[in-house]
Amino acid sequence: MSDKPRVLLIEREGRSDPQLRAGLDEKFRVVIAPTMARALVLLRQHDFSGVVVDAHQLASVRWIGMMIQSDEILDAISDGVAVIDTDQKILWANPEFKELMASKDDPVDLRFYRALGHPEIVEPEICPVELAIERRIPSTGLLRIESSRYLRLSVTPVLEPSGNICQLIVLTRDVTGEELQKQKIDAIHKAGEELADLTPEDLAEMGVEERIELVKLNIVRHMRDLLGLDFIEIRLLDRTNSRLIPLLAEGMTHLAASRELYARREGNGVTGFVGATGKSYLCRDTSNDPLYLEGASGARSSLTVPLLFHGTVIGTLNVENLQPNAYDDRDRQFLEIYGRSVAAALNTLELLQAEKYVAAAAYTEAISGELALPLDDILNDASIVLDRYAGHDEDIIDRLRHLIVRARDVRNLIRSVSSNMVSDTPKAMSPQPLAGVRLLVADSEESIRRAAHSVLGHQGAIVETARDGLEAVTLARQTPYHAALTDIRLPDLNGYEVFKRLREQQPGLPVILMTGFGYDPSHSIVKSRQEGLQSVLYKPFRADRLLEAVHQALRSGPVAVRSVSPQDEGTESQSGSLDAKGSAQAETPPPIDSSPPPVG
């Protein structure tokens, strides 16, 4: 063993002065470092009397000195730090990095990924170390080590004055908790998207109750599989009265599931408070919480979040646990995220059902609109022939009556199909204040007759139209009506003549006379007013004016005609509504509700 002092000669790229080397060998024991990275390792492992380096490499040497002097700082930081060379061999590592290693061996000279047990690169697709070397810029990545630990890497290349990379500093941080939380949030989002993800075939085959049951089953499954929750309650808010209506109760007592609750800050437990404020509520210990009302038997903690859709509370979601302090803010975050998905799913189901209703209504309205006038023509022609054959051939009379009934049945069947298609609609889409009201409309203009069917029929009225005065009088002779609308200029009769004859057939019948721009050469309006006319409608008119006139006529006096439902409309003509002469016989029904809807 030589007693010569030991010096470190940094001889990069084989460039050294032979005379310098010979002089050093005479006085020192020379240890050669071919790279700065190797020099750093040797300086950490051995003692040297000095370091010999070319002048153009002094900047790199200063960097080595700074690295050595900062050992204490690097050893003290909480993140793992490793210095590696361009071959990805570890030159130095702090204690935190050593704790992450797959083995307890000295990491120096080990390849970086081998020291970590050959982890899986989660992101990006390119190795972050290779990316930093290739591009000479910092890069980041995510590694999975062991089975469920995640490391976030930050790789920074250290450049020489020439631009070459001499070392890389790798900062490693354990982000297992953050990554698992992110994965759980992603799983919750995915589960939420599945709640109301129904195929067109599902929509066609399932009713609204079946869809809601499917959503409820999915909610229970997600709560157990993703969140580990067994005691669940969901209530929906009825905004008309602030009542929180039970939708789902899993693991709750019968008393809790059936308890009447309202969205109020006080007196309605935690659920009522959350429904009223729209804020989540974490009950850490049910034994000393003033708002808590028993839900699950023996529950010691609970977490309740609002179901929010576009910032509006539509319900509440409550979970409970048998242990105190079972939930924290992270659980609250998870449940709030899932709660938004539940709210969106329930809203989607309601929208799908509304869409189905609207489509069915539009479909049946289109059919009704096309068939309305042809059916009226059949009724008019059959009624006129029946009127002429009264008292003659009974077989023909019976057939004509049957034809009239069947024509009305066709119209009722269309309504029945529409009603069946939307029978599972949770809410009525639009009110029908004229439901069961039978109206007679006489006008020579087809557009007016179509408009009467569309506007009045949409309000629930049973509308029958006539093209002239004779048809109107004939229909009134055979069928009772709640009110009649007639133009004052029909092809065969003027307004006063029609008004008078309709009143002869059905005394007290409210009649509305229609005129264009107030034109009345025969003074029908003046004459009719003298005999009780109360309503006049000036054409062209808006839909709300037509409805207002009808409601005013219905309120003008007692109407001795019973309200007709679609189920018995077609059979009415066969059940003795005509006398021996064919005149309509008035019945004494309960009064119809003729209150108008808001106009305008």
Contacts 24+ apart (CB under 8 A), 1-4: 2/29, 4/28, 4/29
Residue 289 token pair: 């919480």
Q: How does strand 6-10 pair with strand 50-52?
A: parallel
- Mean pLDDT comparison of 270-279, 456-465, 532-541, highest-scoring range: 270-279
Neighbours of 150 (CB within 10 A): 22
The tens digit of pLDDT for each residue in 341-385 reads: 888 877 766 655 555 565 566 666 777 778 888 888 888 888 888
Q: Please, what are the domains in the chain?
A: 1-69 (3.40.50), 74-174 (3.30.450.20), 183-352 (3.30.450.40), 355-574 (3.40.50.2300)
More confident call, 281 vs 183: 281
Per-residue pLDDT, 293:
93
Dihedral sign, Cα of residue 141, residue 145, residue 148, residue 152: negative
For residue 182, the Cα-to-chain-centroid distance in whole angstroms is 23
Alpha-carbon gap, residue 128 to 117, rounded angstroms: 17
Mean pLDDT of 203-212: 64
Amino acid at 265: R
The tens digit of pLDDT for each residue in 419-451 reads: 665 554 444 445 678 888 999 999 999 989 988
* Weakest-pLDDT range from 86-95, 497-506, 560-569: 560-569
Contacts of residue 14, Cβ cutoff 8 Å, sequence gap at least 6:
34
Evaluate if residue 101 carries a pLDDT over 80.
yes
| The model's pTM | 0.45
Q: Which of 83, 39, 45 is nearest to 62 (CA)?
A: 39
Looking up tokens 């109020």 gives: 264
3-state secondary structure (DSSP) of residue 392? coil
Q: How does strand 483-487 pair with strand 438-442?
A: parallel
Q: How confident is the model at residue 600 (pLDDT cuts 50, 70, 90)?
A: very low
Alpha-carbon gap, residue 493 to 9, rounded angstroms: 126
The tens digit of pLDDT for each residue in 276-326 reads: 999 999 999 999 999 999 999 999 999 999 999 888 998 999 999 999 999
Q: What is the largest CA-CA distance in the chain?
A: 149
Evaluate if residue 557 carries a pLDDT over 70.
no
Residue 483 token pair: 């009110």
More confident call, 452 vs 583: 452
The tens digit of pLDDT for each residue in 16-71 reads: 667 777 777 777 888 887 766 677 667 666 777 777 776 555 555 555 555 554 45
Percent of the chain with pLDDT over 90: 23
Give the angle subtended at the CA of 592 by the CAs of 591 and 594, to the nearest 5°. Answer: 125
